[in-house]
Structure 1
Amino acid sequence: MEQAQMKLMIPGPVEVDPKVLAALSEPVEPHYGDAWVKKYARVIDILRQIFNVAGKNYDVYLMVGSGTCAIDASMSSSLMRGEKIIIGNNGFFGGRLIEVAKNAGLNIVEVPGEWGKPLDPQAIKKALDANPDAKAVSVVHGETSTTVLNPVKEIGAIVAASEAIFLVDAVSSFGGIPFDMEDWNVDICASATQKCLGALPGLAPVSVSQKGWKTIDRSFDKGHSWYTNLQNWRKYGTEWADWHPTPVTMPTNNVNALLVALEQLMEEGIENRIQRYRSLALRLRKGLREAGMEPYTSDEMLNPVLTAAYAPEGHKSGEIIQYLLNEHHIQIGGGLGHLKDVVFRIGHMSPVVTEADIDRVVDALKAF
């Protein structure tokens, strides 16, 4: 009997369209020259539309690395060792922001939040008022560990009234959840390509505002790597724009695959894609409840691209994960931190996930 194909529904990386994969098998091309510059410019143009930035007030770059590479670059390019950063932390990846900041030698003011609940913008304001010398505020948009979406717009309005810059981790939300970098007063945003964009791991979009550049361009000894210095990405993106727009060799096939995924997004329409993700989330939540497995967050707090649910009473979440993997060839994610044995997480952030895929998961869970 032929074994069913494995269905990947973890919180990233995601399954990608066959046309995206096909781009990887094309002949390798150089990362410079007229043809490449034209293609790369199209990638940047689409990324700008997803970031919701226009004109010359924001720059967009495509770094080679994971989303954490882009976060690392954002912090270490902006702040000097010993400078103060306020970090909202209500999940595992909020904790990751703190780890990155510690590695950069920054003075961290943590604003703790409860796992499973959004950060309180007023708590951020209180921290800013108490620390007027803070140079930056940083939060995660979509906290992957809990599926909670943090109020970036509200926090951004608070940060904009200060001298601090606003750094946002949008790794698991970019392209699948409404995001408006300009309207939300985000100064530096870091993301990745292997989640909602439906592309491969290894590329990390970054966008920087003029306020962000003002902080980055202060005269000081940065004391960090050349590779993650955003000034170098800007230098090549301007001075070498007509033939070699990046400071490093780009994985050209991976960028070509990303372009296929981005063109598919534009063909569907960003708003249509986001609405489709939301419909899938609601369908999954309904099915989870029918299976006796309550979603971790309320429907009012739903994340359109990722859903966490409690394991049934008397069972650990790992049992659900192994059951789906072994019996139904569906791979989902487990909980992180203290939620490891409590919840499981189902990613529906891939553009190729359909209602039939959601139903397959739900039917399997009902049979547990």
Structure 2
Amino acid sequence: MLLLIPGPVQTRPEVRAAMAVDIAPWDRDFFPEYIAIREKLRDIAGGVAGQHACLPLQGAGHFITEAAIRTFIPAQDRPGAGKLLIPMNGAYAERMARLAREAGRAIVALPCTDKRSIAPAEIGAALAADPAISHVGIVYSETGSGIVNDVPAIGAVAREHGRRMIVDAVSAFGALPFDLKAQPEVDAVVFTSNKCIEGLPGLGFAICPIGRVEASRGNAQSWSFDLADVFDTAQRTSWGSFRFTPPVQALHAFGIALDIFLVEGGQPVRLARYRENARILHEGGQALGLKPYLDREQQGPVIVLFHQPDHPAFELQRFVDALKRRGVLISNFHNTAEPTFRVGCIGHVGPDEIRFALGAMRGALEELGVRLREAA
């Protein structure tokens, strides 16, 4: 089965095989492996030894995003409380806002359509209008629609205004460029094991400036979601130790995926492959008569969305089932205001797999009796 969703992604056989071992996470023989993973991730993020730390957390991307919000932004009733500015141009921005609100943090929602990236000037205007905003929360790659926000440019604006930033890079890290050395305004860049590094699900990671972590002790109001406590535990016991039982087999497999990522050439090589996947899918869908959700200039490399055909025979679950019978699995839901379907471009897939998926899409539409006008 060809898995074309934006995470968990299609993985290599050797990554899956690495799960088939029994490991004790507190076994000191495993410590060096865990330490090496943390150091490699810090380096990929542009971090510096002694200045930045990789702080892992069990769970999904929402978990590590909430942990970053709780750790670096005090609650509204606490000293030093600020506000989190979030450009609302996608489903995951909406989720970041909910995580912040339910954690008792104040947010400022900046309206924006999910069909375009936010302009840095819009961020600047919002920051100038409200001095109480302490942080910008930005989704780098919005998997709800496929857009990419310009994190370096937005970071420059935040830096100019003396504000901090939390970057949700869950579906961006490892593909889109990022450099902590060039973005000192970032308190945390967060991501997971099961996206562009092409590992398996179960772990989130935050790469953070150590000084900012140390200054944020006591903010989280949660033991589980306190990145300062993750850091303090590592300082006290070992960078190879855990606070709570981790999905250690997934971590071991992630180490294999990470080594493959580095051997392949890292972020630039991975981005090139995903961009080509997205180009073929975007153009190939149009050749089938499908209408992409985004204009080409707004289309990111992670996921391509198409409008659901305005045809009485089309029904999303039936289309997904027909694709599955042809060996392709896509999401059976959408996060956009308009009805769409989404096809992932990331994971251990290349142009041949994308072309195979386009053939399956043609066959599935024919099976459903959906006749579309061929694109000019």
* TM-score, scaled relative to structure 1: 0.90
**Cα deviation, residue 164, structure 1:** 2.6
1:26 maps onto 2:24 in alignment: no
Q: 1:261 corresponds to which letter in structure 2?
A: A
Question: Percent identity over the alignment?
Answer: 27
Q: What letter is aligned with 2:226?
A: N
User: What's 1:8 paired with?
Assistant: 3
**Residue 205 of structure 2 aligns to which amino acid in structure 1?**
P
Deviation (angstroms), 1:181: 3.2
Q: Is the 8 A contact 2:274 2:350 kept in 1?
A: no
Deviates more, 1:207-216 or 1:328-337: 207-216
Structure 1 stretch displaced more, 100-109 or 182-191: 182-191
- Per the alignment, residue 305 of structure 1 pairs with 302
CA contact (8 A) 2:190 2:204 kept: yes
Q: Distance in 1 between matches of 2:149 and 2:40?
A: 25
Contact 1:307–1:347, Cα closer than 8 Å, also in 2? yes
Output aligned runs, 1:190-205, within 5 Å: 190-205=190-205
Equivalent in the alignment of 2:250 = 254
Bigger drift between 17-26 and 291-300 goes to 291-300
Q: 1:297 to 1:212 in 2, by over 3 A?
A: farther
Are 1:212 and 2:212 counterparts? Answer: yes
Q: 1:267 aligns with which of 251, 263, 271?
A: 263
> Which residue does 1:3 correspond to in 2?
none
Distance, in Å, in 1 between the alignment partners of 2:55 and 2:43 is 13
- Indicate conservation of the 8 Å contact 1:176/1:349, yes or no: no
Counterparts of 1:269-288 in structure 2, within 5 Å, are: 269-270=265-266, 271-288=268-285
**How much has 1:281 moved relative to structure 2?**
1.4
The answer (yes or no) to whether the contact 2:213–2:227 under 8 Å persists in 1 is no
Q: Which residue of the partner structure matches residue 96 of structure 2?
A: 97
Q: Distance in 2 between matches of 1:228 and 1:163?
A: 26
Q: In 2, distance between residues paired with 1:113 and 1:326?
A: 35
1:58 lines up with 2:52 in the alignment: yes
Distance in 2 between residues matched to 1:223 and 1:151, nearest whole Å: 28
1:11 offset after TM fit, Å? 1.7
Report the secondary structure of 1:338's partner residue.
Answer: coil
* Secondary structure of residue in 1 paired with 2:182: coil
1:309-320 equivalences in 2 (<5 Å): 309-314=306-311, 318=316
Specify the SS of the correspondent of 1:142.
coil
Q: CA deviation at 1:111?
A: 0.8
Q: Which amino acid aligns with 2:329?
A: Q
Cα distance in 2 for residues equivalent to 1:318 and 1:211? 49
RMSD: 2.0
Q: Secondary structure at the match of 1:191?
A: strand
Give secondary structure in 2 for the equivalent of 1:282: helix
- Pick from 229, 232, 237: which aligns with 2:234? 237
Question: Does the CA contact (< 8 Å) of 2:141 and 2:302 recur in 1?
Answer: no
Task: Give distance in 2, aligned partners of 1:120 and 1:207.
Answer: 25
CA contact (8 A) 1:187 1:211 kept: no
Tell me, yes or no, if the aligned pair for 1:308 and 1:345 is still in contact at 8 Å: yes
Cα 1:317/1:183, change in 2 over 3 Å: farther
1:85 aligns with 2:67: no
Structure 1: distance between partners of 2:102 and 2:27: 34
Matched AA of 2:67: A
User: For residue 70 of structure 1, what is the aligned residue in structure 2?
Assistant: 64
Partner of 1:330 in structure 2?
328
Is the 1:168–1:190 Cα contact (8 Å) retained in structure 2? yes
Asked if the contact 1:57–1:210 (Cα under 8 Å) also holds between the matched residues in 2, the reply is yes
Give the CA deviation at 1:74.
Answer: 0.3
Structure 2: 5+ residue runs without aligned partners? 366-376
Work out the CA distance in 2 between the residues paired with 1:317 and 1:123: 38
Tell me the CA shift for residue 54 of structure 1.
Answer: 2.3
The whole-number CA distance in structure 1 between the counterparts of 2:322 and 2:168 is: 30
* d(CA) in 2 for partners of 1:104, 1:223: 9
Unaligned runs of 5+ in 1: 1-5
Q: Distance in 1 between the 2:215 and 2:236 partners?
A: 21
Q: Is the CA contact 1:290–1:366 (under 8 Å) kept in the aligned structure 2?
A: no
SS at match of 1:149: coil
TM-score under structure 2 length normalisation: 0.88
Give the counterpart letter for 1:24 in structure 2.
M
For residues 42 and 55 of structure 1, the distance between their equivalents in structure 2, rounded to whole angstroms, comes to: 12
Cα 1:192–1:40 shift into 2, 3 Å: same
Cα separation, partners in 2 of 1:142 and 1:240, compared to 1, 3 Å: same
Q: Tell me by how many angstroms 1:97 deviates.
A: 0.8
Residue deviations 1:50-108, cap 9 Å, x none? 21222333211221111111111101111222132211111111100110110111121
Could you report, residue by residue, the CA deviation over 1:111-130 in whole angstroms, capped at 9, with x for unpaired residues?
11111111122221112112
Secondary structure of the structure 2 residue equivalent to 1:24: coil
User: Which stretch of the first structure deviates more once superposed, 46-55 or 63-72?
Assistant: 46-55
Please tell me the residue identity of whatever aligns with 1:207: I
Query: Contact conserved, 1:280 with 1:355, CA < 8 A, in 2?
Result: yes
Kindly state the Cα deviation for residue 215 of structure 1 after the two structures are TM-superposed. 5.1
Q: How many residues align?
A: 355
Kindly indicate whether residue 37 of structure 2 is the aligned counterpart of residue 37 of structure 1.
no
2:345 to 338, 344, 348: 348
